[in-house]
Amino acid sequence: MNHAHQVYRSRREALLASMRARSGGGVALVPTAAEVARNRDSTFPYRHDSYFYYLTGFPEPEAVIALVADPEGDRHVLFCREKNEEREIWDGFRYGPDAAREIFGFDEAYPISELGETLPKIASDRPALFTPLGLFEPWDRRVTDLLNEVRARARTGVSAPEEIVDVRGVLDTMRLVKDEHELALMRRAGAISGAAHLRAMRATHPGMYEYQVEAELMHEFLREGAQAVAYSSIVASGPNACVLHYRENNRQMNDGDLLLIDAGCEYQGYASDITRTYPVNGRFTGAQKDVYEIVLAAQLACIDVVKPGVAFHDYHKVAERVLAQGFIDLGLIAGPLDEALEKGTYKQFYMHRAGHWLGMDVHDAGLYQVKGESMRLVPGMVLTVEPGAYIRAADNVPERFWNIGVRIEDDVVVTQDGCENLTPIAPKTVADIEAVVGR
């Protein structure tokens, strides 16, 4: 077992300790995701379940882990596909139980075909069952069948778990603070994605189609070893930049348009999430620059307040204040600032939160508030910082601002005394952008 797989075992041990503290022990059962049919006999590229992978590092489908908190000693058990020469000729390498046990640091490993007969033994006489409830419908049925099977054996002197706990509660808390292994992967993901945005800027010129710019992003992602996009790339020019989740990416870009790109790769299971906005012809108009500078000022102000002890929602409030004052200065809304904030008039142009947790999932695991109180930031939390301004054509908007959509987004990790930007490679000042677009 190498160092990376020791990291996963340590996480499993932490989960077992949490199970003991909460329920006096029990068994945790966590499945990975199923393969998903795309059409006919083709499947989508396989993506593991994040909770399962967080505990195992095991990449194959058709796998389940069982973690047993036992007075006689904890057990780390993996169920996975058997070695199969014929299937491996067609579909590629499989670890098989024996190799998987040794490489991934499990105490025991069995063929997935033995899950049905083995689980009732593992789950008998356990005070609690920890499992993801409502994550996969077929798994929910299997858990119900398992409990009924153990209950049916009551006459043999065994008992079923009386307490059923959604294991994601514990795992969400664990996943919220990244360890050094995770941060190294996220730095790499951020570096790849930042380089991809830079490549896209250099390739852009009027007359191109949005999907041609998307191809530049994909080229860099794959060239640098990323396995996939972390989410569907948004490559939104002109009026499309005012559609928050624009996905068509098929418009031809015109001289004078702004281009908003929200794109990030997934690297070894970890997401990056970057947005940059720039003029297709490499030069901001006066109105575009005015709006852009307001959004950039808001983003930099937000980053400044991200530090340990600060409430998660504080940087969103900073974004609202800076953007609202900027909109007042441009004559887009009426002042004074406190009145604009109270009435929410700024929401015509800024209608989303300033960021979210980031990790194995783009909108990552973890609560944002507990019992009405905002989560406090601690070192190791990773979050996006992404204020924006989206000015659609409207009767109350001067025409020079119509169809200007700007968002600027970076990924930051909370450090001991502030935060570290994981995505600094992509240019974001006006001068730096104008120096590289189309060059």
Annotation says 5 is catalytic = no
Q: Which of 87, 202, 363, 376 is catalytic?
A: 363
Question: Is 155 one of the catalytic residues?
Answer: no
Q: Give the number of other Cβ atoms within 10 Å of residue 408's Cβ.
A: 24
Torsion angle, CA of 168/174/177/178, rounded to 10 degrees?
-100
- The span from the CA of 263 to the CA of 60, in Å, is 26
Q: Which residues contact 431 (CB under 8 A, 6 or more apart)?
A: none
Work out the number of other CB atoms within 10 angstroms of the CB of residue 115. 20
| Residue 245 known to be catalytic | yes
264 token code pair: 């990030």
Q: Which of 386, 410, 411, 434 is catalytic?
A: 386
d(CA 323, CA 291): 9
Q: Kindly name the residue from 180, 245, 342, 399 that is annotated as catalytic.
A: 245
Q: Is 409 a catalytic residue?
A: yes
The structure tokens 């108009």 sit at 285
- Catalytic residue, chosen from 390, 410, 411, 434, is 390
Sheet holding 270-271, edge to edge: 228-229, 265-267, 270-271
Helices (H), 40-179: 50-56, 85-91, 96-103, 115-123, 137-152, 168-176
Q: Which of 352, 353, 392, 420 is the catalytic position?
A: 352
> Could you say which of 273, 320, 361, 364 is catalytic?
273
Of 220, 257, 409, 411, which one is the catalytic site residue? 409
Please say if 386 is a catalytic residue. yes
Report the half-sphere exposure of 122 (CA within 13 A, side-chain side). Answer: 27
Q: Which of 422, 423, 425, 356 is nearest to 387 (CA)?
A: 356
Active site residue: 175, 251, 316, 356, which one?
356
* Three-state DSSP class for residue 220: helix
320/303 Cα distance (integer angstroms): 14
Is 390 tagged catalytic? yes
Q: Choose, from 216, 262, 266, 410, the residue flagged as catalytic.
A: 262
Euclidean distance between CA atoms 23 and 143, whole angstroms: 19
316 is catalytic: no
| Catalytic hit among 257, 346, 407, 411 | 407
Spatial strand order in the sheet of 108-111? 108-111, 75-80, 64-69, 26-31, 128-131, 163-166
Q: Which residues are designated catalytic?
A: 41, 245, 262, 273, 352, 356, 363, 386, 390, 407, 409
